[in-house]
Structure 1
Amino acid sequence: MVKQYAQPGFLRPADGPVFDSAQGTAIKKAAVLIPMLQQQDEWHVLFIRRAERPGDRHSGQVAFPGGKQDPDDPSISHTALREAEEEIGLDISRVDVRGQLAPYHTVSNFSVYPFVSIIPWPQKLIPQESEVARIFTIPLRWLQDEQNYYLKTPEPRPHDFPGPPRRHPVVYYKRFENELLWGATARMTLGLLQALDEGTVRIG
Structure 2
Amino acid sequence: MLPDGLLAEDEQRCRRLLADATARYRARPAAAAVLVPLCLVRGVPALLYTLRSRRLAGKHKGDVSFPGGKRDPTDKDMVHTALRETCEELGLAVPEEQVWGILQPLYDQQKVTVVPVLAGVGPLDPQGLRPNPEEVDEVFALPLAHLLQAQNQGYTHFCRGGRFSYTLPVFLHGPHRVWGLTAIITEFTLQLLAPGTYQPRLVRPKPSGG
Residues 1:154 and 1:198: Cα distance change in structure 2 (over 3 Å): closer
How many residues align? The count is 163
Query: Which residue of the partner structure matches residue 3 of structure 2?
Result: none
Query: Which residue of the partner structure matches residue 30 of structure 1?
Result: 32
Residues 1:155 and 1:60: Cα distance change in structure 2 (over 3 Å): farther
Query: Which residue of the partner structure matches residue 94 of structure 2?
Result: 92
TM-score by length of 2: 0.70
Verify: 1:189 aligned to 2:177, yes or no.
no
Q: Greater helix share, 1 or 2?
A: 2
Question: Any idea what the Cα deviations from partners look like across 1:53-99, whole Å, max 9, x if unmatched?
Answer: 36411100000000111111100100000000000000223871112
Mapped partners of 2:69, 2:138: distance in 1: 17
Mapped partners of 2:52, 2:173: distance in 1: 16
Query: Which residue of the partner structure matches residue 150 of structure 1?
Result: 154
Query: Which residue of the partner structure matches residue 141 of structure 1?
Result: 145
Query: Which residue of the partner structure matches residue 130 of structure 1?
Result: 134
Mapped partners of 1:61, 1:117: distance in 2: 22
Structure 1: 5+ residue stretches without partners: 1-26, 157-165, 200-204
Mapped partners of 1:147, 1:128: distance in 2: 33
TM-score by length of 1: 0.72
Match of 1:176 among 174, 177, 199: 174
What amino acid does structure 1 have at the position aligned with 2:154?
A: Y
Native 8 Å contact 2:30 2:115 kept in 1: no
Structure 2: 5+ residue stretches without partners: 1-28, 197-210
Residues 1:31 and 1:54: Cα distance change in structure 2 (over 3 Å): closer
Mapped partners of 1:54, 1:126: distance in 2: 18
Identity of paired residues, percent?
33
Question: Any idea what the Cα deviations from partners look like across 1:156-195, whole Å, max 9, x if unmatched?
Answer: 8xxxxxxxxx953332111312x11011100100000111
Mapped partners of 1:89, 1:45: distance in 2: 17
Residues 1:50 and 1:155: Cα distance change in structure 2 (over 3 Å): farther
Residues 1:134 and 1:95: Cα distance change in structure 2 (over 3 Å): farther
